[in-house]
Chains A and B, each alone.
Chain A
Amino acid sequence: MKFSAACLSLCLATAAAFAPAQYQTAKTLSTASSLASPLRMSTTVEAPATTNEEAPGMMRPPIDMKWEEVAAQLQEAFGYSQTELDSYTMLDSDKEGLMKLYKAMQTARAFENACNQQYMQGKIRGFMHLDNGQESIPGLLDYALKPDDKKISYYREHTHAIASGVDMGEVMAELFMKDTGTCRGAGGSMHIFDKETYFQGGWALVCEQLPYACGLAKAIQLDKHLGISDDAEVKAKDNVPPPADDDRISVVFIGEGGSQNGRMAEVLNSASKDNLPLLIIVIDNGRAINTFTPDVAKNSDVFKQGKHYGVPGLLVDGNNPADVAKGGKAVIDYIRSGKGPAVLQVHTYRFNGHSPADPEHERGRKDEKAWARSEQDPIKNFEAIYTANGMFTEEELKATRKEVLAEVKACVKFADESPMPPVELAKELEYPDAADTDYNLKEGPAWADEVNARTISPEKMETVQAHIADLQAKAKD
């Protein structure tokens, strides 16, 4: 009722204001409309004054950012010229690209909804954290990441994994604790790992993934320095340098709450000092489980936090998926070009509770969810914009939705029909090799000397060899 009236007014207003060269978000038009309902708070405790002057009572107002504001940030903080930025706006008229973006977001939404249903049916247990409302981020991943970029996320990572190329059926099977899951049922929802697609979790302790991501970025650098690269199965290294145009990056995901953790400072320092190819995506939905982040954080502008370290940051509006894709890609390309790490903060809303187990009865969250589902749905906003301007018909979008639902249904079926892991698996996974393996007998890489020859000067090598010989002589007594 509320939504369809708002949608109608959005469509009419957008159609009336259509300008070929610029796309305004549907949101900027609707805030002018009286149909945009301010958030009503139903709290039992005194809330600190965190209200927006224009919309009194709204705990977390939308940022309604236009592309011009994104572009301005990219110019100022990242050094992009206007001409360079124009090439990023080509997505706006790229029908195929936009449809791919839409499909990626619908896939994320449909998958998470399926997880919710399956959890209620008891097929998934323990902790599960759904990404509904934050789909512009998997949209960006699908749009701008490459298969061998190294991705590492937190516990709300299903959609990150899938958008990064992890098989959807294997993710669902993992949640169903099946042997065909990404981790053979050992990990569960919070711990999705897939070596071949360089998706390295799935981590439950807040912010722990940040320094790991630094390490992944360091490995990319070391590959180039040592002239080695992963073999085809990603099982070992080969004495083959990365391609000359190797522009892999490491991407890490963290919340705006997690960004308050001390590791953020350590990682910004480390990444900037070593010029690591690291992208920190800050998923800013304003909440811990229930705690409203501005209540406990002095500064929620995480994209500015890198200033102290010379790490640039970009803030984008998660409600506009195309802008997130364009702006995000510009940030990613900046890192790919070797200019160092960067922060991308996506202002977004979490539609569901922290997890199905959390009753969200406190502090305005019920109203916020209802409002966000209606007014800040990136998928709905995308549909509104691109049907209004004629890029897509309703039928085309519907067809994609249908396709996605069929794919998600198939992966649920796959998970349902897969076997559970054998009980023996628990003990098998304790160590990579047998517990009594004598590593003294394990051969080093056959090409170790070649790598040494090109990375260690002859003089240094001589010193090292002499020292080793000296130690060995002492050991002989």
Chain B
Amino acid sequence: MLSSVLRKGVAASGRRVASIGGGGVRSMATIDMAVREAICQGLDEEMERDENVFIMGEEVAQYQGAYKVTKGLFQKYGDKRVIDTPITEMGFTGLGVGASFHDLKPVIEFMTINFSMQAIDQVVNGAAKQFYMSGGDLACPIVFRGPNGFSAGTAAQHSQCFGAWYSSCPGLKVVSPYSSEDAKGLIKAAIRDPNPVMVLEHELMYGISFPMSDEAQSKDWVVPIGQAKIEREGTDVTIISFSKPVGLALEAAEVMATKGVSCEVINLLSLRPLDRKTIIASAKKTGRVVSLEQGWPQCGISSEIAAILMETDAFNYLDAPMERVTGADVPMPYAADLEKAALPQLEDVVAAIERTTYRSMAA
């Protein structure tokens, strides 16, 4: 069984999950699983479940994936369902979109989401608009996936976050996992969804391990698209983020806890549809909001959150203007110091939270 092969080498944490319902249900150990393995497990399970699912992209098959996310799948499913392509994003993305019009379920990997720009016409005009343009005739059950956003020292053309651009397209769904459970659940949900779904993973998260509960290890583990997750409950300030910066938000919450400020951290999981209910409810609960993202500030996800807070009932509950912490408004520089200055750091998030609570920065 491939999934057990994939789990090989991952240290089991030995923790036990409390038995569910208390009615003699067997409880298994929660294990630690790296994000890339969780995605691979999700892909494998969906390919097993539905023979129409196939994977296409550069180096996905024989090389096991440039980031080893599709490791083992070529050996298991062969070259008809795990397909290496030439370096022609526009061509193979279009091919995938066309295949999806006739009941196949392609999973198109972009080696990085930066490369999706080569094929963005196919994603937006080909996939996203198809159902509407055809008056409901042709659906496009395609999944696009790949690492999005910053890496380490990869410079301007390899570090852009595409969350904001894709999330503004009607007809497209956009999701972005943080943990391994998120990653597995979202890829499975994306593949089962009859709409085109863009899955924005993160390269620097692939190797990070998270506990996978018994439930998450099962083949039925699906994370619903359109629902955010409260990673940490709090009462004083809401921090909203997605993808790798969720970790930064949780770190900032820890720091603020020592200062007596209780932060609620929301992991958006879905950028489109955006879980407006959860955002509004949390804003009403805490009265203070900080939005955190890696992408550029202008027309970012934070901009949309600010609009939500202005336009809805949440506005009446705000005790402070919303703060946003974003990447710097420049193409990503290569030099380490410049790159650090161009990305949100812990100090930036803490400072933003302090501004919403009208406290000055600690000396």
Contacts and interface: CB of A to CB of B under 8 A. Distances in A.
B330 A45 contact: no
A204 interface: yes
Interface stretch (B85-93, B225-233, B300-308): B85-93
B235 interface: no
A426 B86 CA distance: 35
Contact of B62 (A178, A205, A363): A363
Given A260-B86, A262-B90, A421-B338, A185 B75 contact: no
Interface residues of A, number: 44
Contacts of A177: 334-336, 338
A421 B156 contact: no
A420 B330 CA distance: 18
Contacts of A126: 151-155, 158, 334
Contacts of A169: none
Contacts of A326: none
Given A204-B158, A426-B328, A427-B330, A288 B58 contact: yes
B84 A205 contact: no
A296 B330 contact: no
A232 interface: no
A191 B158 contact: no
A45 B63 CA distance: 11
Contact of A191 (B87, B90, B155): B155
Nearest to B153: A126
Nearest to A360: B63
A426 B337 CA distance: 10
Contact of A185 (B115, B330, B334): B334
Nearest to A179: B335
A282 to B, nearest CB: 13
A127 B154 contact: yes
Contact of A187 (B90, B114, B155, B341): B155
A207 B90 CA distance: 12
B293 interface: no
A291 B84 contact: yes
Contact of B334 (A44, A186, A291): A186
Interface of A: 44-45, 125-127, 177-178, 183-188, 190-191, 203-207, 257-258, 260-262, 288-291, 293, 295-297, 358, 362-363, 420-421, 423, 425-427, 429-430
What are the nearest 10 A-B pairs in CB distance? A126-B153, A188-B334, A185-B335, A125-B153, A177-B335, A290-B63, A204-B157, A296-B86, A260-B86, A188-B155
Given A126-B151, A293-B86, A423-B341, 11 more contacts: A125-B152, A126-B154, A126-B155, A187-B155, A187-B334, A188-B154, A291-B63, A363-B63, A420-B337, A421-B335, A427-B328
